[in-house]
Amino acid sequence: MKAHKKADFPTDHIRRFLEPGPVVLVSFAHAGERDIMTMGWHTILGYNHIGCYIWDQNHSRKLTRASKDCVFNVPTFELIDAVIGVGNTHGPEADKFAVFGLTPAKAKTVGAPRIAECFASFECRLVDDSQADKYSLFTFECVRAHVATSPKYPKTVHYRGDGVFMIAGENKSYRRTFKPEML
């Protein structure tokens, strides 16, 4: 194996290499108002908690603090135009469901709607916003999960920074040699 030649890199751009998972569409609702935001800054904390960054200038931040819940929806590559469109549309000016052809579906345990076209939807409750004022960090607990039965490994979209997305690619099994419980 050959060593890579490395150069200094701006520390405020390291997320390009560390993004943990697919871009999600997070839906929020409170007092008759609803919104969707495109999110790439999230991570799993334990088995059923999600930590995420919600900018203090984002309209959805107000809704999540008021409602204390949301739904993390996992779109597939087929929804890339909606993912980008929602991400480029800010605030309550537009009904993002209508504008981007997304269907709100009633959640079973939270007030925010699921997005019917997404591969998976995770209904979540806010459990910790103690780091929100300083770091814009919110922690949610998944209280109900809905996942499509097929395909087993969907083509998800992952943000690489600088307007570049990666599409989930080839899957390769190492079940005979890798111990999944060790990761």
Q: Please give the pLDDT value at position 182.
A: 65
**pLDDT tens, position by position, 36-95:** 999 998 998 988 999 999 999 888 999 999 999 999 999 999 999 999 999 999 878 899
Cis peptide before 20 (omega within 30 of 0): no
Q: Give the pLDDT mean for 6-21.
A: 75
**Of residues 145, 146, 140, the one with CA closest to residue 125:** 140
Q: Give the pLDDT mean for 15-22.
A: 72
- Asked whether 53 and 96 are in contact (CB, 8 A), the reply is no
Domains contained in the chain, CATH given = 19-182 (2.30.110.10)
**pLDDT tens, position by position, 98-151:** 999 999 999 999 999 999 999 999 999 999 999 999 999 999 999 999 999 999
